[in-house]
């Protein structure tokens, strides 16, 4: 909530006269201006002595507000951006790639839902190793349950390479493993910290190495959100939705594919349903349901 005073340096028209006029209408920051009717304010400004300058100040504030939302795009520009940046990352598993029409799409949030030990972490590890190896991109893996296994990733990477010289294989393995950055997060506030830091790094384009982040995996988002949901307060839901929007923003603005896992809970009539409730349903773009018995998957969104 930047107060109007701080804008005076950059925009000298928002001087102390303008600020005191706004203060008389209980407006102290730009966000307050967003909640007020600017036409009414301009009408009040008419009655003041320095009405011209005040109205210029209001016009200046409007142009500041215009810079506060995302840019407008038309259909062709959207399509060009999507074709250029929003390609598809293969997960390494043909069956899942088929369901996802090619793989994990950059710019979208894919959710894997399933009961315990239905293979969600395995899919995450496979996708991480595949992207690090084939797509020349780096992976950020946020692990909430200490389930990241470097040995398993090594197995995935070395699976398809021919038994060449050990030295060359070792170097490739090192390079690929360097592209996967694993961090343990155990609560949602740490996750917010990590994601904000990642956003800052991506925005200022500081690379840890020479590879751009292509895939972000959060395993599992439900174990971080479930402890804060419930009760009569709405803070838990607000944090969950904020986290969802932060992930979507990272995905779209910085061209990252996001993969999250979720577990299932019992629902009406004994049928299990994904956890995190109705509000979370509108966050992911694609939802894959994994079940254990037959190894089948249902895709729904």
Binding site for other proteins (CB under 8 A): 23, 26-28, 31-32, 34-39, 62, 65-66, 68-76, 78-79, 82, 108, 233-235, 237-242, 245, 248-249, 252, 268-269, 278-279, 281-282, 285, 300-301
Smallest distance from other proteins to CB 39, Å? 8
Select from 298, 224, 227, 229 the least CA-distant residue to 260: 224
- The alpha-carbon radius of gyration of the chain (Å, integer) is 25
Closer CB to other proteins, 79 or 136, in the complex: 79
Smallest distance from other proteins to CB 79, Å? 5
Helix (H, G, I), strand (E, B) or coil at 105: strand
Closer CB to other proteins, 25 or 169, in the complex: 25
Smallest distance from other proteins to CB 280, Å? 9
CA 98 to chain CA centroid, nearest Å? 24
Smallest distance from other proteins to CB 33, Å? 9
Closer CB to other proteins, 170 or 281, in the complex: 281
Closer CB to other proteins, 47 or 63, in the complex: 63
Closer CB to other proteins, 135 or 287, in the complex: 287
Angle between helices 51-66 and 16-24 in degrees, nearest 10: 80
Beta-carbon contacts of 105 under 8 Å, excluding residues fewer than 6 positions away, are: 86, 87, 88, 89, 257, 285, 286
What is the distance between the alpha carbons of residues 285 and 127, in angstroms, rounded to a whole number?
A: 18
Closer CB to other proteins, 53 or 87, in the complex: 87
Smallest distance from other proteins to CB 72, Å? 5
C-alpha count within 13 angstroms, C-beta hemisphere, residue 48: 18
Q: Is 124 exposed, middle or buried (0-12, 13-18, 19+ CB in 10 A)?
A: buried
Q: Are 25 and 44 in contact (CB under 8 A)?
A: yes
Smallest distance from other proteins to CB 220, Å? 20
Closer CB to other proteins, 133 or 252, in the complex: 252
Look up residue 88 and give its two tokens.
Answer: 């598809």
Smallest distance from other proteins to CB 134, Å? 23
Look up residue 86 and give its two tokens.
Answer: 């929003």
CA 153 to chain CA centroid, nearest Å? 24
């Amino acid at each position: 909530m930047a107060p109007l005073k701080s804008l005076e340096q950059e925009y000298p028209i928002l001087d102390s006269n303008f600020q005191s006029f706004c203060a008389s209408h209980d407006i102290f920051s730009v966000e307050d201006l967003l909640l007020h009717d600017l036409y009414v304010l301009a009408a009040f400004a008419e009655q003041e002595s320095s009405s011209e300058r005040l109205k210029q100040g209001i016009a200046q504030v409007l142009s500041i507000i215009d810079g506060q939302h995302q840019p407008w795009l038309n259909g062709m520009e959207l399509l060009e951006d999507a074709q250029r940046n929003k390609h598809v990352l293969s997960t390494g598993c043909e069956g899942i790639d088929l369901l996802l029409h090619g793989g994990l799409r950059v710019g979208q949030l894919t959710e894997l839902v399933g009961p315990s030990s239905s293979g969600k972490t395995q899919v995450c590890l496979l996708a991480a190793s595949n992207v690090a190896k084939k797509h020349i991109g780096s992976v950020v893996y946020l692990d909430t349950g200490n389930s990241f296994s470097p040995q398993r990733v090594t197995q995935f990477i070395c699976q398809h390479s021919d038994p060449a010289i050990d030295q060359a294989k070792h170097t490739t393995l090192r390079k690929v493993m360097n592209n996967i950055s694993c961090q343990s997060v155990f609560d949602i506030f740490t996750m917010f910290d990590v994601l904000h830091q990642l956003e800052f790094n991506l925005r200022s384009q500081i690379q840890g190495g020479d590879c751009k982040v292509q895939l972000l995996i959060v395993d599992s988002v439900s174990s971080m959100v479930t402890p804060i949901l419930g009760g009569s307060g709405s803070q838990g839901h607000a944090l969950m939705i904020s986290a969802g929007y932060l992930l979507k923003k990272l995905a779209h603005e910085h061209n990252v594919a996001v993969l999250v896992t979720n577990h299932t809970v019992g629902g009406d009539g004994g049928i299990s349903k994904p956890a995190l409730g109705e509000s979370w349903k509108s966050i992911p773009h694609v939802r894959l349901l994994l079940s254990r018995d037959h190894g089948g998957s249902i895709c729904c969104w």
